[in-house]
């Protein structure tokens, strides 16, 4: 079994967890109408600070642990949901001619924001799943022998 420095692993895991929470807060702010730089909330799961940790230091230090792999799917799902949010918020108004004739631009904008908020609720739920998986990983690290 690979020996790891538990303190270092826990510190890096907690920093990565904090990066995820910050990323989610930026996404929530964007959906709430706050202007957020796109580089604060990368779309790709390998581009965010958490993804950088997961695919690099995290994999090197913790890739052999059972609970490490359980993090991949919820993290990737978060970014897939965020891609939908990003598309809704940045898409041009491609409403059909009848919709444009019979609804106001404000109504269409409200519908887009409502859809983005719905996706955001889904994202928060998946984020909670990810955070629980990180708690399990943290416990698995703490349970390792102190070699």
pTM of the shown model:
0.84
Q: Is 147 part of any domain?
A: no
Structurally, the chain folds into a number of domains equal to 1
Q: Is 1 part of any domain?
A: no
| Confidence (pLDDT) at 1 | 44
**Long-range contacts of 120-129, Cβ-Cβ distance < 8 Å, separation of 24 or more:** 120/27, 120/28, 120/31, 120/85, 122/81, 123/24, 123/27, 123/78, 123/81, 123/82, 123/85, 124/24, 124/28, 126/74, 126/77, 126/78, 126/81, 127/20, 127/24, 127/74, 127/78, 129/74
Q: Is 56 part of any domain?
A: yes
pLDDT averaged per 10 residues in sequence order, the chain, 147 residues: 80 97 95 88 92 95 94 96 91 54 66 93 97 97 87
| Confidence (pLDDT) at 102 | 54
| Confidence (pLDDT) at 33 | 87
Q: Is 55 part of any domain?
A: yes
Range of the domain at 124: 6-142
| Confidence (pLDDT) at 101 | 52
């Amino acid at each position: 079994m690979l020996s790891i420095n538990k303190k270092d692993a826990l510190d890096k895991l907690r920093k990565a967890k904090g990066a995820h929470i910050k990323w989610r807060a930026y996404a929530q702010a964007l959906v709430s109408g706050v202007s957020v730089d796109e580089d604060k909330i990368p779309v790709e799961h390998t581009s965010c600070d958490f993804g950088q940790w997961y695919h690099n230091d995290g994999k090197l230090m913790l890739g052999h642990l059972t609970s490490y792999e359980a993090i991949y799917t919820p993290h990737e799902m978060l970014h897939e949901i965020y891609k939908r949010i990003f598309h809704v918020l940045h898409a041009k108004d491609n409403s059909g001619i009848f919709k444009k004739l019979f609804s106001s631009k404000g109504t269409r904008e409200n519908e887009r924001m409502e859809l983005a908020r719905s996706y955001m609720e889904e994202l928060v739920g998946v984020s909670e799943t990810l955070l629980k998986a990180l708690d399990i990983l943290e416990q698995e690290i703490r349970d390792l022998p102190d070699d």
